[in-house]
Structures are given as structure tokens and as C-alpha cells.
């Protein structure tokens, strides 16, 4: 609680200073602006996975997907703290349950949904999306299919013992039925299981159609005279993976507010989709064109002032934040601040002999001064984290007391039984704590003791070595860092010598972000022991989906290759909480964090507050209410008109609630 309050206080102090500075300054005329285009910069480069996350999930690619792919069946309602159907897509929903407890959701769709080429979107497009994302052909071309274990008939369809997927039915062009099998219930984010954007089959799989003969959906050739199946890895290699025209990097027909007009490997350009009917709030984009590209930390604020950028998104580095702050004090620029729903970390490749040892991973954690790293990189705008969480997650807000627990007092305060229950619940929420997590601080003696107890001994070169499965393994490690992120400078100055003092040699390899992600996701050879990564979580926090159960039945964290059945069971327990039982979910969340903190498949470093800086002509940019700038930009506009509201007060929105 105290650590998070200190961070919020730092932000409030910065914004208060800004207010005082602006009161004594006359706004200067901003450079002449053209109000039909917005140029957006982000310090994280795009990989180009603009279709789905099946080939990776870089944060900048997520932003692009939010622009291009719309009409999801469900949406997150932040005020209610739950998933609901999207009222712009679903006109009605019915819920049925059979004798076994399988739960079917019948969704009636509006008939005014269209792709950007004018083709109507129907229930068949959503059915194709489910079938595509689970298809084995996706894995054949380097993707990771979704494990739709919640859907009735999923395993039989995947195994080929059934020709159709019984858990998805197309009852009519505008009626879709999705059945969740009873074994998967309860599920805390229940309606979130229906998440689905429509995919254009005529672009991704030409010559293929979805059919439903009354038992479930399946893929078939559009022309019945063609006997060989057309939906193959070879077809998708061409339509999805082609680097110049494939739908993965160049989605030509989309359902979102914008269309992609160009992508050259660094910069993406967008134009309004004229067929987009509006989002759940009825908003239609008004900024005609957008461009999105890499913004270099060292120069991004200067380039904002010079006019190359109109919006800087997700600024993290403390020096860049202060430069942006000073710019706002002098000119007609604005900023927004919002806590990150994610963290930065060092991910271990646990398939490597040394990294497979929990003692080694813990020892490395004792060799990093994570508090110093956080302060030097984020200034006062980040906090060390000791588990798999981010400052912006609702769970962290409740456990730190910055978000009130969802417990309403009884209407009749004289009802003693009701008041006792109310007070009991509040006490249980108050008892929630992350104090059980080990705060791995810099302690080289602790590291040495762990390594010695694990059987590592110094060789004649001063490096630790150990015999593992008949092979001598030397502690000569490699860590990957992305280009354009100067975190490597801190690691070279501090982590390398601290590791060397305990007998570990570390080499840091700087690689392009696209290569780093490919090696992390196993899409190319992964010969590094550790990878510096940044992660933003989905709203559905379900770490169980990161596990793969191998042939022996043992689950392992897919990307880190860390097998731990207890962590998997704790992840399952979280999602198996009854919807609405927040207290029980939180208790399970704490238990998961404690086990994660012990075995360390990933070493958490810090989470932070994001800053967005932008020109004053950008109005109604409410990024704090959205998960990406791509969603926030739909309701925004460009205008030379002066604001009538107090702009600074608007910038403070979202932080007043943390002011004790």
C-alpha cells in the first residue's frame, strides 16, 4: 500500500508542479497543424502480427489490431467489472443449460455489420474465426492455435473423431450458438469465453466455406466438385504468411474503425473504414488518416515538438517523461497518465540446463538490484513487482486499498446479522496481502549459498560449473535485449559485474524486437538463457492458458518451458471461481502469486505508470478508459478550437482517487 501510494504521490506532485507552471505562462502558438492526420509514435517497434496473437503478441501489434478488427461479441465493462455482450454487435442473448450442465449462449446479431470491402458480416464469419484459430494448419505454418478446451466437442473435432465442432452452431445468418462444456464451469470471466472477432473467409481461405448440417460447424470446399480439401497449410502459407500480401501483416479487409493502407516494416498507415458502424458507445472515428511508427526514446519528445509526432504513446523512461513535462509547461501540449496493466521482466529459458534449476533462477534474482533498476529507468513512476502482476490490474488495486472492495453495506444498518457479515467480508479483504512474496533484493551472499547448495563449484576460470545428466555445464550465460531499449546499459553496468562476483559470466546480445519475439515464442532457435521482455496482460487474467500439458500429462509454462504442476493447479483454481465471487478469486490470486514468486519461471522487475504526450489539437483522447490508444482514438478528434474545460484537471482524472 505504501509503495503504491508513493508512486501515485510522485505523479500528483509532477502534475501539481505542471499546474503552477502553466498558471504563470502564456500559451505559445503551436506549430501550424493539419487537422486531417495524426502521427503516433511508440518506443516499442511493431513486429507486424496485425491479424491475431497466434504468431506473437507484441504490445504495439496489439494497438494495431484494435484499429483493424472490431465487432467482438463481448466487451469488458470497467464500471461493472465484468464482461458483457457488445451492444453494437449483439441485439439479444439467451442462455440454455442441458441436463449435463453444458451451457449454451444463443446470440442474435445485428444485420448492419460489414467488412471494409462492403461484404456483410454474419454468424458464419464468427464461426470461421473459431475454426481458424483452433486449426492444426495454423501450427504447421508457425502459429500457436488457441486451445478452445471450453467448447463442447473441441477435442473430438481436433482429433478427427468428429467432422464437426458441436460447441459452435450457426442457427441462421444472424444467430450464433456457443456451448461451453460443463467441465469448464464455473469460469470467473464467464462471458469472456465468448470473445471473438469476425474473420473474412473470402480473403483468408478463398474457395472454402463454413457449413452446419445441424450438429455443429465445419470447413468444406465451396465447390462440391472439388474433392481435395482446400483449407490447407499450403493455402494459408500464401494467404496469411506471404510477407508482401499475407493477411498476418497486410490485412486487406477488416472489421474495425480503420483500414491498413500501408506497412513497410516500421511504419503503418491507416484510413477510416467507411463501413464501420461504430463501437459500443456509438463512436465513429473522425480523424481521416493515422500513421504509427517507432519513436526513439532519446529523440521522441524533440520530434513531438518539431511536428514529426502528434501523439507519443506509452512513454516509460524517466528522462523522456521529464522532457515531455517541460514541453507541456511551455507550449500547447497535453499529457495523460495511466497505470500499466503489465510488467517488465527477465524471462528464463528453462529448457536450458542451468536455467532448469530453481536455485539458479533464485540466485540470479538475488544478484539484481531491482529497486535501483526501477528508479534509474522509470524515475518515480515505477515500482518493483515481486509477482506476475501489473499496477493497473484491478486485483492489485484491491489488495493495496486503492480500489474499494466490491462489498456494499446493508440497507438496514440496524440489521445486526447483515452488518456482521458486511464487516466480516471487509476484514477478509483487508487480510489480503502480498507480504508472503519474497522481495529478491541484492544479496550476493544469498546467491552464493543457493548455488553452492545446488552443487555448483568454481572452475579454474572462476566460473561455476556442474555435471548435469553426464555433461559438464559452465555458467556462461546469454541474455537477449531488444534494440532501442537502453535497459542493456544498466544491465551491463550492474548485473554483469554482480553475476561475475558469484561465478556467472553473462553476455548481453542486442537484437531487433522481431527476432527477440521469434526466439522467445520458439519460432526460431532459442539459444539464449534469458530474455528481457515487457508484457501487458489481457483483461481475462488466465495464466492457465500459458501451460501446455505434454504427453506424460505434466503441464509446463509454454514459453519459459518451466514445468510446475502446483502452479498450473493454482492457475486453474483461479479461473474456476464462480463469477462474482471476487474475494475467493483474490485469495486464489494471492496463492498463485506466492508460488510464482517461489519458482520464478519469469523474474519480475517493475511495473509503471505510462505517460502519453500529445498536441493540444487532439481532443477527447481518453486513453485511461481504454486498453490501447487504438481504442481511445475512435472517440477522439482533431480541432483547432480551444478547450473550454480546465485541461489540467482533466489530466489529473484517474489519480484523484489515490490521493490519501
| Superfamily covering domain 342-446+475-607 | Dipeptide-binding Protein; Domain 3 (3.10.105.10)
By the 10 Å C-beta count (0-12 exposed, 13-18 middle, 19+ buried), 222 is classed as middle
Q: Read off the pLDDT of residues 332-347 as tens digits, 9 standing for 90 and up.
A: 899 999 999 999 999 9
CA-CA distance, 161 to 146, in Å (whole number)? 19
Asked if residue 90 lies in contact with residue 109, where contact means CB atoms within 8 angstroms, the answer is: yes
With 80 as the cut, is the pLDDT of residue 197 above it? yes
Would you state the torsion angle of the CA atoms of residues 507, 508, 509, 511, taken in this order, to the nearest 10 degrees? 170
Q: Which has the closest alpha carbon to 107: 86, 128, 92?
A: 92
> Which one is predicted more confidently, 147 or 592?
592
- Taking the domains of the chain in order of start, what are their residue ranges? 2-46+257-339+609-658, 73-239, 342-446+475-607
| Mean pLDDT score across all residues of the chain | 90
Look at residue 5 in the predicted model and tell me its pLDDT: 57
pLDDT tens per residue across span 522-562: 778 888 999 999 888 888 899 998 888 877 778 888 788 89
pLDDT-above-70 percentage for the chain: 91
Return d(Cα 284, Cα 92) in angstroms, integer: 22
* Domain range 73-239, CATH architecture: Alpha-Beta Complex (3.90)
Q: What integer is the mean pLDDT of 307-334?
A: 90
Mean pLDDT in residue range 127-141 = 97
Q: How far is CA 338 from the centre of its chain?
A: 15
More confident residue, 575 or 24: 575
**In the predicted structure, residue 20 carries a pLDDT above the cut 60:** no
Is pLDDT at 29 greater than 50 in this prediction?
A: no
**Pseudo-torsion of CA 355, 357, 361, 367, nearest 10°?**
-100
Percent of the chain whose pLDDT exceeds 90 = 76
pLDDT of residue 31: 42
CA separation for the pair 145, 551 (Å, rounded)? 18
In angstroms, rounded to a whole number, what is the distance separating the alpha carbons of residues 18 and 651?
10
**C-alpha closest to that of 432 among 407, 405, 393, 410:** 405
Question: Is there a cis peptide before residue 428, judged by omega within 30 degrees of 0?
Answer: no
- Residue 655, pLDDT > 90, answer no
pLDDT at 68: 98
pLDDT given at position 415: 87
Per CATH, the number for 2-46+257-339+609-658 is 3.40.190.10
Q: What is the DSSP string of 124-180?
A: HHHHHHHHHHT-HHHHHTT------TTBTTHHHHHHTS-SSBTTEEEEETTEEEEEE
Q: How confident is the model at residue 640 (pLDDT cuts 50, 70, 90)?
A: confident
Task: Return the pLDDT at 18.
Answer: 52
H-helix segments, 331-432: 358-365, 370-378, 394-399, 416-431
CA angle 454, 460, 464 (to 5 degrees): 25
Kindly state the average pLDDT of the residues 432-443.
97
Which tens digits make up the pLDDT trace of 260-283?
999 999 999 999 999 999 999 999
Q: Enumerate long-range contacts of 490-497, CB under 8 Å, 24 or more apart.
A: 490/373, 490/376, 490/377, 491/532, 494/368, 494/369, 494/372, 494/373, 495/367, 495/368
Mean pLDDT throughout 78-105?
A: 91
Total Cβ atoms within 10 A of residue 647: 17
**Whole-angstrom distance, CA of residue 258 vs CA of residue 230:** 30
What is the rounded average pLDDT of the residues 130-148?
Answer: 95
Low-confidence winner among 125-139, 340-354, 554-568, 576-590 (lowest mean pLDDT): 554-568
* Confidence band for 87, pLDDT divided at 50, 70 and 90: very high
Lowest mean per-residue pLDDT among 79-83, 310-314, 427-431, 456-460: 79-83
Instruction: Tell me which residue of 335, 332, 304 sits closest to 30, measured CA to CA.
Output: 332
> Taken in order 116, 122, 126, 131, is the CA torsion positive or negative?
negative
Give residue 34's pLDDT: 54
Amino acid at each position: 500500500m505504501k509503495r503504491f501510494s508513493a508512486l501515485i504521490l510522485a505523479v500528483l506532485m509532477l502534475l501539481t508542479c505542471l499546474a503552477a507552471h502553466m498558471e504563470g505562462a502564456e500559451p505559445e502558438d503551436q506549430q501550424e497543424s493539419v487537422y486531417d492526420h495524426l502521427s503516433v509514435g511508440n518506443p516499442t517497434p511493431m513486429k507486424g502480427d496485425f491479424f491475431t496473437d497466434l504468431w506473437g503478441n507484441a504490445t504495439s501489434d496489439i494497438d494495431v489490431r484494435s484499429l483493424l478488427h472490431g465487432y467482438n461479441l463481448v466487451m469488458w465493462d470497467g464500471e461493472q467489472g465484468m464482461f458483457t455482450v457488445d451492444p453494437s454487435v449483439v441485439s439479444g442473448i439467451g442462455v440454455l443449460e442441458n441436463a449435463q450442465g453444458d451451457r449454451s449462449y444463443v446470440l442474435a446479431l445485428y444485420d448492419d455489420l460489414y467488412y471494409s470491402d462492403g461484404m456483410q458480416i454474419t454468424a458464419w464469419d464468427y464461426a470461421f474465426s473459431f475454426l481458424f484459430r483452433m486449426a492444426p494448419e495454423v501450427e504447421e505454418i508457425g502459429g500457436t492455435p488457441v486451445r478452445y478446451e471450453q467448447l463442447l466437442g473441441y477435442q473430438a473435432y481436433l482429433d478427427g473423431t468428429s467432422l464437426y465442432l458441436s460447441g459452435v452452431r450457426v442457427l441462421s445468418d444472424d444467430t450464433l450458438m456457443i456451448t461451453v462444456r460443463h467441465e469448464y464451469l464455473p469460469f470467473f470471466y464467464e462471458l469472456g469465453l465468448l470473445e471473438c472477432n469476425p474473420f473474412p473467409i473470402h480473403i483468408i481461405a478463398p474457395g472454402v466455406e463454413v457449413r452446419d448440417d445441424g450438429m455443429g460447424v465445419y470447413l468444406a470446399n465451396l465447390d462440391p466438385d472439388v474433392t481435395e480439401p482446400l483449407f490447407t497449410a499450403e493455402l494459408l502459407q500464401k494467404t496469411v504468411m506471404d510477407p508482401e500480401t499475407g493477411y498476418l501483416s497486410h490485412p486487406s479487409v477488416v472489421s474495425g474503425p480503420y483500414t491498413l493502407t500501408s506497412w513497410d516494416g516500421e511504419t503503418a498507415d491507416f484510413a477510416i473504414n467507411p463501413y464501420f458502424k461504430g463501437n459500443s458507445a456509438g463512436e465513429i472515428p473522425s480523424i481521416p488518416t493515422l500513421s504509427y511508427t517507432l519513436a526513439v526514446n532519446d529523440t521522441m519528445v524533440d520530434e513531438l515538438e518539431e511536428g514529426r509526432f502528434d501523439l507519443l504513446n506509452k512513454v516509460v523512461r524517466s528522462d523522456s517523461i521529464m522532457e515531455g513535462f517541460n514541453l507541456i509547461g511551455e507550449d500547447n501540449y497535453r499529457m495523460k497518465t495511466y497505470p500499466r496493466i503489465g510488467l517488465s521482466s527477465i524471462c528464463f529459458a528453462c529448457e536450458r540446463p542451468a536455467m532448469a534449476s530453481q536455485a539458479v533462477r533464485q540466485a540470479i534474482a538475488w544478484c539484481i538490484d531491482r529497486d535501483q533498476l526501477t528508479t534509474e529507468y522509470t524515475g518515480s513512476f515505477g515500482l518493483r513487482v515481486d509477482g506476475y502482476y501489473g499496477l493497473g490490474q484491478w486485483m492489485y488495486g484491491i489488495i493495496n486499498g486503492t480500489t474499494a472492495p466490491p462489498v456494499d453495506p446493508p440497507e438496514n444498518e440496524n440489521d445486526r446479522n447483515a452488518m456482521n457479515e458486511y464487516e466480516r467480508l471487509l476484514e477478509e479483504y483487508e487480510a489480503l496481502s502480498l507480504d508472503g512474496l519474497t522481495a529478491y533484493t541484492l544479496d550476493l551472499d544469498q546467491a552464493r549459498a543457493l548455488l553452492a547448495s545446488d552443487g555448483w563449484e568454481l572452475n579454474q576460470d572462476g566460473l561455476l560449473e556442474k555435471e548435469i545428466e553426464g555433461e559438464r555445464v559452465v555458467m556462461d550465460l546469454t541474455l537477449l535485449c531488444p534494440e532501442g531499449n537502453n535497459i542493456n546499459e544498466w544491465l551491463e553496468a550492474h548485473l554483469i559485474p554482480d553475476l561475475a562476483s558469484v561465478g556467472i559470466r553473462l553476455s548481453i546480445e542486442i537484437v531487433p524486437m522481431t527476432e527477440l519475439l521469434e526466439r522467445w515464442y520458439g519460432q526460431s532457435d532459442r539459444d539464449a538463457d534469458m530474455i528481457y521482455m515487457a508484457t501487458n496482460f489481457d483483461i481475462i487474467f488466465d495464466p492457465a492458458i500459458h501451460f501446455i500439458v505434454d504427453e506424460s500429462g505434466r503441464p509446463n509454462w509454454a514459453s519459459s518451458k518451466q514445468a510446475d504442476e502446483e502452479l498450473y493447479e493454482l492457475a486453474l483454481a483461479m479461473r474456476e471461481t464462480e463469477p462474482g465471487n471476487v474475494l475467493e478469486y483474490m485469495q486464489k490470486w494471492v496463492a498463485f502469486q506466492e508460488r510464482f514468486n517461489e519458482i520464478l519461471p519469469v523474474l519480475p522487475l517493475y511495473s509503471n505508470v505510462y505517460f502519453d504526450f500529445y498536441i493540444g489539437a487532439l481532443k477527447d483522447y481518453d486513453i485511461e478508459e481504454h486498453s490501447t490508444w487504438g481504442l481511445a482514438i475512435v472517440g477522439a478528434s482533431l480541432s483547432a478550437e480551444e478547450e473550454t474545460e480546465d485541461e489540467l484537471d482533466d489530466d489529473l482524472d484517474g489519480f484523484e482517487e489515490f490521493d490519501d
